[in-house]
A and B are shown apart, each in its own frame.
Chain A
Amino acid sequence: MTTAGNALRVRSRFVAYLVPIAAVLAALLLGAIMLVLLDADPIEGFKAMFQGAFGSADALTATALKATPLLFVGVGITIAFRANVINIGGEGQMVAGGLLATGVALGLPDWPAVIMLPTVLIAGLIGGALWGAVPGALKAYYGVNEILSTIMLNVVAVQLMNFLLRGPMIDPGEIERGTRIPQTARLQEGADLPLLFGSGRLHIGPLLAVLSAIAAYILLWRTPIGYRLRAVGQSKDAAQYAGMPVKRTIVLAMTLSGALCGLAGAVLVFGSESHRMVTDGSTAGFTGSAGFNGIVAALFGGLHPLWTIPASFLFGGLLVGGNALQRAVQVPTALILALNGLIVVFVVASDRYRRTLQERASEAETAARLAAEAAATPTGPPPDATPPEPPIDTRAEPP
């Protein structure tokens, strides 16, 4: 009995681990077919993809840097999702955070990094928080759905960015030369994100993102605020009944979510190659679509802040590797975008299957233990050591 249960458990757990990997592989297989049809060598392509993402210290750096905004956004999205608020305004919040941080940096004297850096990063945090608080408040107090307001605020953010970067915030040199590139001057060196190993390109951004994930984990599961967020997400009515300030909690969820996205924007500015903010006229040109891809990373991480860390890293690797593949075998960039979409669809579509397997594994586990305990103490009290997982936490279980 026990052995059989264990076998089932092990097998299901094992298969559960394989499901998302198999989904990615299936998508890549389709990618390989596309490459063949495009007269490109898929083996060379995928070699370049892996090399470009994980094959060297430089590649790992690029992956970590790409993963950074995904992780910030992913963690922010997780917080909102936990409170049952869907934040698809990450793009706009990143822009808002980047803009406010840049604006503050432009307005400050050349302070030393110890003061400068925290100041501008907090400015980014505040920018994103404001851009998130608005839809939060609109939802809580005016009944405006957050999907509507976040989509609309993304539109507003891009125009605000274009206006500020071609007008008030533009590099005076651009006016002088008459080239009018919509970008700021190089920001003060005090605001540069310090490099982790003194040289190279790996700055403290990834570290900050990991810390934010840990902080979010603690916030969600170890503090009263986190409990409130999750309780509101679970059932607004029950939370209300329990005397929780539901409306304020919704605003808080969106504000925290926006703040992390804003921080992602600030890190993009101060950790960029150019150390300035520049626009090509679209949000994606600045964010690299991290406001969307971060949502995907969050889901890959099972909407759990800590599991979002490896999920972001792997997803970042896919994005970086995809670009390397494109360069290596010279296929249109559009292919990489389509492939990216396929991977998301496949992983998400297979996710429920993974969860089913996992649930089966834990059921088997419980059954096995019950059986074992029943055998050991036939007349003992009913085992209460393993209460059923509260539904609120099922998705928090590591995959």
Chain B
Amino acid sequence: MSQFFTEAVLIATVASGIRLAVPLLLASLGETYGQRSGVLNLGVDGIMLLGAFGGYYAVLETGNVWLGLLVGIGIGILLGLATALISVTLRAEQGISGIGVYLFGLGMSDLLFQRLVGTPTPISKFPKLDIPGLSDIPWLGEMLFQHSIIVYVAFGLVPFSMFVINRTVFGMKIRSVGENPEAADSLGVSVAKVRYATVTIGGMLAGVAGAALAIDLGIFQQNLTNAQGFIAIALVYFGAWRPLGVMAGALLYGFVNALVLQFKTLGIIPQSWSDIAAMAPAVITILALVVVARRFRQPAALTKPFTRGA
């Protein structure tokens, strides 16, 4: 255990937890918008995978990571629109249509990869950005302020989302549409427009999450996300539809994962218990919620398609 409490290891563990949290955070922030307005999108992982491939491929071809991110955004928006079309306009059963999108993304990203690339080929990654001043703080600077740019973007989106959801007119519309679409409709809010917007934002952030994952890893492979999109959805519930709570969930999941990896590496967790230890992030996430026992109510109209005058 003593090997764990060394400067290098402690710093690395915290930094690793933050990195692991980033794709989860991006995707679940996006999902938060949709769910607050009453739409459950179970297809996040499929959108992430396609965003990941798109971002990866763009960087592979051009070497420009920002273009990669942009492609991820574009793919995310397109698939977000498609998801909105399915669940808002066509009013499909949301739990199921998302599974279709997931399967489509899982297959299509792999197919695209096999046809256009073939073998995993490394690409350039996001540049690291040391925040001036802050990155020089001993310990803390290295843990928090020496990351790739996308990390700051992801965490920056937390206060931004809090502001949007809680303090803007658009946010008020989102919340009212999610709680009581009939009332919102009678006040002249277009339920469909608001939901299209939130689901598209959700898709966009899922696409960004995927592209960020691929570009941060510098590689693509079949099923790159390994179901992180589903974890991200779970974290929305963990965070009780609040950006800050979602961030807490993503960090908890990331940190426990990082801690387990570090403990395994140092032999604190014996090799033969590796799989049992790998359960820890999932179990602890559930337990944390039980212990905290917050009973936030979900948006009343979640998963319920809206029909005017129904």
Contact = CB atoms under 8 A, between A and B. Distances in A.
Q: Direct contact between A and B in the complex (CB less than 8 angstroms)? A: yes
Interface of A: 38, 86, 88, 138, 142-145, 147-149, 151-156, 159-160, 162-163, 166-167, 292, 295-296, 299, 332, 334-346, 348-353
Contacts of A166: 275
A337 B110 contact: yes
Given A334-B114, A341-B103, A348-B92, A163 B276 contact: yes
A147 B234 CA distance: 6
Contact of B102 (A143, A149, A341): A341
Given A143-B294, A159-B279, A338-B103, A350 B90 contact: yes
Contacts of B281: 155
A142 B293 contact: yes
Given A296-B100, A334-B222, A341-B103, A348 B93 contact: yes
Q: Would you list the 10 A-B pairs with minimal beta carbon distance, nearest first?
A: A341-B104, A337-B107, A344-B100, A338-B107, A341-B103, A345-B100, A334-B110, A145-B237, A152-B282, A148-B237
Contacts of B279: 155-156, 159-160
A348 B97 CA distance: 6
Interface in B40-99: 42, 46, 85-86, 90-93, 95-97, 99
B286 A351 contact: no
18 contacts: A88-B42, A143-B296, A145-B237, A147-B233, A151-B230, A152-B231, A155-B279, A160-B276, A163-B275, A334-B222, A337-B110, A338-B106, A338-B108, A344-B100, A345-B100, A345-B104, A349-B85, A353-B90
A348 B100 contact: yes
Interface string B209-243: 00000000000001000010011011101100000
Given A344-B96, A345-B101, A332 B286 contact: no
Interface of B: 42, 46, 85-86, 90-93, 95-97, 99-108, 110-111, 114-115, 222, 227, 230-231, 233-235, 237-238, 272, 275-276, 278-279, 281-283, 285-286, 289-290, 293-296, 298, 303, 305
A352 B87 CA distance: 10
Contacts of A296: 96, 99-100
B95 A88 contact: yes
Given A163-B276, A341-B46, A352 B92 contact: yes
Contacts of A337: 103, 106-107, 110
Main secondary structure of the interface of A (DSSP, over half): helix
Given A159-B279, A163-B276, A142 B93 contact: no
B99 A155 contact: no
Given A292-B99, A351-B93, A147 B104 contact: no
Nearest to B297: A143
Contacts of B231: 151-152, 155
A152 B279 CA distance: 9
Nearest to A336: B107
B101 A144 contact: no
A335 B230 CA distance: 22
Nearest to A150: B234
B282 A341 contact: no
A386 to B, nearest CB: 21
A193 B289 CA distance: 41
Contact of B105 (A155, A167, A341, A349): A341
A69 to B, nearest CB: 16
B286 A152 contact: yes
Contacts of B105: 341
Contact of B107 (A142, A159, A163, A339): A339
Contacts of B283: 152, 156
A159 B281 CA distance: 12
Contacts of B115: 38, 332
Contacts of B85: 349
B75 to A, nearest CB: 15
A27 B91 CA distance: 19
A311 to B, nearest CB: 12
A335 B103 CA distance: 10
